[in-house]
A and B are shown apart, each in its own frame.
Chain A
Amino acid sequence: MSAPTKKLPPIDPMDLAGIDDLLSDEEKAVRDSVRRLCETVVDPFVADWFERGEIDDPRGLAKELGSLGLLGMHLEGYGCAGMTATDYGLACLELEASDSGVRSLVSVQGSLAMFAIWRWGSEEQKQEWLPRMATGEAIGCFGLTEPDHGSDPGSMRTRARRDGDDWVLDGRKMWITNGSISDVAVVWARTDEGIRGFVVPTASTGFSAPLIKHKLSLRASVTSELVLDGVRLPADAVLPEVRGLKGPLSCLNEARYGIVWGALGAARSSLDAARRYAIEREQFGRPLAAFQLTQSKLADMALELVKGQLLALHLGRRKDAGTLRPEQVSLGKLNNVREALEICRTARTVLGANGISLEFPVIRHMNNLESVLTYEGTVEMHTLVVGQAMTGESAFR
């Protein structure tokens, strides 16, 4: 029997299901700190960065993020904060509620570049890079995608060949987040022993990282090409502990997990903007919020947000328990990014013409999510992963 005298807690319109109850005090503290940091160093500036297609001071921003402990936060040792996967997810959500570009900076730094070194690197590589990357003093990028090979990285053409003890790298990488501002690039290349990873200082001769321009999405994020033209590296530049596609895929799995949460941040921000706007804006003598069609949109958006949050949290708990499978990450990325984008699009309609203005966060989030939908495995790729898990049939080729 339920206790009849117990007073019901008030309803929070942005947490209708009361999912907050499922978080510990520490998890809430992590979330609050990230939110406060974003309110100080991101929110007041990000629309302008997006409009100009340039972050004012990406290195300064990286240091701010590092000082809170965000960079490589879910890794242990080497100056990393050693937080849980759930903490990491909550942080991604708050970052992406500010902007997907800033979350991308953190994802690539922590889950791709740092994770690759942390998981597959030598002790010397870890000592050299991880502490500086954790503070944001050094920035990293992760080069897997090539101009002619995206969803099918196994066919990559970038090559590393032996020359005496040295390695020599030739090839091109495309769409590389943080590329032009990086101190170190983790580059995946074909060798006689299969695909291997290399820790490439970006100051190496023959390495360059020209900026990719003309993006209409993720404009508050640096995206670059990596050109490797006879880059000579010492024998110990290779990541010693992994061979084959498993190397890069293990890293992508980390970053994708963060995106399962992150995308919901963009959705939450857009839904919140739409809800406030609908309450304030009047047409036909009534607030937009008083029209059933608007309420239907708001309710549907809220439902998908709640479902996405429950899925993210469930996957986070599995990751912390060590039982999270890659197929489950695919399930989460597929659903949450797709639904988040749909929420942003619906929110945009609620704002009418203002919905296309950078004065509101909505169109920025919406455009950003077009990138998020594609990178870290496209919708189609994750659909095929889920399809294979359900049927045992591989439909990739």
Chain B
Amino acid sequence: MNIVVCVKHVPDAQSDRTFNESDSTTDREGVDGLLSELDEYAVEAALKLVEEGEGEVTVLTIGPAQAADAVKKALQMGADKGVHVSDEAIHGSDAVATSLVLAEAIRKIGSPDLVLTGMASTDGTMGVVPAMLAERLGVPQVTYASELTVSDGTATIRRDGDTASETIVATLPALVSVTDQINEPRYPSFKGIMAAKKKPVETWSLADLGVDASQVGLDAAWTKVESFTKRPPRQQGQIVTDEGDGGTRLAEFLSAQKFI
């Protein structure tokens, strides 16, 4: 089974996040980036499936030069090869354009049996790209999988909702987005780190994919960040002084906030 995993290189959530003053896009300069944590689950899921059977895992990313790090990380974890789509014109693309470029790249990679993605990126957190991508590829989409098995040309997932867990099946080829409940992503072993140095990574431009620059980028975006303001620092929390009724008051607070 051949699997393509779409991954995103995102700014490290531990450092301060800022926007460019000029075009309100995410500022990636001088900020450490990494493979989006939510995508690690998709990589892990792909590796597990291939380890059980056979086939190859290809990781695919779109992004500026440093986005190659996300591909590299996935290769260190054990993916077989990488594709990095990089083109100046892509800067500022919205989800619609992103899904277009991903779809063309996946067609060029070949027709995989399965496309896996995380449930959302940790920076944009829109979570719409998987659905758009499945639509463009013309394959069934099953999203938010917290369990995934594949057999006899069918993918079976469990999707946990607020009130029920659904079991959903889809015939392959299909696209599956996975949640952070699906597995515990591995971290690269030293052998994985060494092996990744020799794994093939291709870098493609929009021209390589036959995508016209006018279809992507900030100018083609259907939606745009108009302005941004920094969120004010959090207000200090409520202090409960225990006068023998501390437990009750904590419980009241939690239930008022719908935590329990």
**A residues within 8 Å of B by Cβ?**
7-10, 25-26, 29-30, 32-33, 36-37, 67-70, 73, 81-83, 87
Contact = CB atoms under 8 A, between A and B. Distances in A.
Nearest to A82: B194
B93 interface: no
Given A29-B72, A30-B193, 11 more contacts: A7-B30, A9-B30, A10-B31, A26-B193, A26-B197, A29-B73, A33-B187, A33-B193, A68-B189, A69-B190, A81-B191
B104 interface: no
B219 interface: no
A37 B190 contact: no
B117 interface: no
A36 B30 CA distance: 24
Contacts of A33: 187-190, 193
Interface of B: 15-16, 29-31, 69, 72-73, 76, 187-191, 193-194, 197
Contacts of A32: 187
B193 A29 contact: yes
A69 B190 CA distance: 5
Given A25-B72, A29-B73, A29-B76, A10 B16 contact: yes
B190 A10 contact: no
The 3 A-B pairs at the shortest CB distance, nearest first, are namely A69-B190, A81-B190, A9-B30
Contacts, number: 43
A69 B197 contact: no
Nearest to B69: A25
Contacts of B72: 25, 29
Contacts of A30: 190, 193
A149 to B, nearest CB: 37
A334 B190 CA distance: 29
13 contacts: A8-B30, A9-B30, A10-B16, A10-B31, A29-B76, A32-B187, A33-B187, A68-B189, A68-B190, A69-B191, A73-B190, A81-B191, A83-B190
Contacts of A70: 190
Contacts of A10: 15-16, 30-31
Contacts of B191: 69, 81
Contact of A37 (B16, B31, B73, B187): B187
A83 B194 contact: yes
A69 B30 contact: no
Given A7-B30, A25-B72, A81 B188 contact: no
B27 to A, nearest CB: 9
A37 B184 CA distance: 13
Contacts of A68: 189-190
Contacts of B194: 26, 81-83
A320 to B, nearest CB: 15
Contacts of B188: 29, 33
Tell which of A7, A8, A9, A33 has the most Cβ of chain B within 10 Å. Answer: A33
A27 B31 CA distance: 19
A118 to B, nearest CB: 16
A39 to B, nearest CB: 10
A10 B197 CA distance: 29
A80 to B, nearest CB: 9
B120 to A, nearest CB: 23
A125 B29 CA distance: 53
Nearest to A88: B190
A69 B188 CA distance: 10
Contacts of A73: 190
A324 to B, nearest CB: 21
Contacts of B30: 7-10
Nearest to A27: B193
Nearest to B27: A7
A9 B72 CA distance: 23
A258 to B, nearest CB: 15
A3 to B, nearest CB: 13
A30 B73 CA distance: 11
A215 to B, nearest CB: 31
A117 B189 CA distance: 24
Contacts of A87: 190
B192 to A, nearest CB: 8
A26 B197 CA distance: 9
A82 B69 CA distance: 23
A275 to B, nearest CB: 16
A68 B197 CA distance: 17
Contacts of A81: 190-191, 194
A7 B194 CA distance: 33
B25 to A, nearest CB: 15
B34 to A, nearest CB: 9
Contacts of A69: 189-191
Contacts of A37: 187
A70 B188 CA distance: 12
Contacts of B189: 33, 67-69
B15 A7 contact: no
Contacts of B31: 10
B190 A36 contact: no
A66 to B, nearest CB: 10
A366 to B, nearest CB: 28
B40 to A, nearest CB: 11
Contacts of A25: 69, 72
A87 B15 CA distance: 25
A67 B72 CA distance: 21
Contacts of A29: 72-73, 76, 188, 193
A36 B37 CA distance: 14
Contacts of B193: 26, 29-30, 33
A372 B15 CA distance: 34
A87 B189 CA distance: 13
A37 B125 CA distance: 28
B29 A7 contact: yes
A280 to B, nearest CB: 15
Contacts of A67: 189
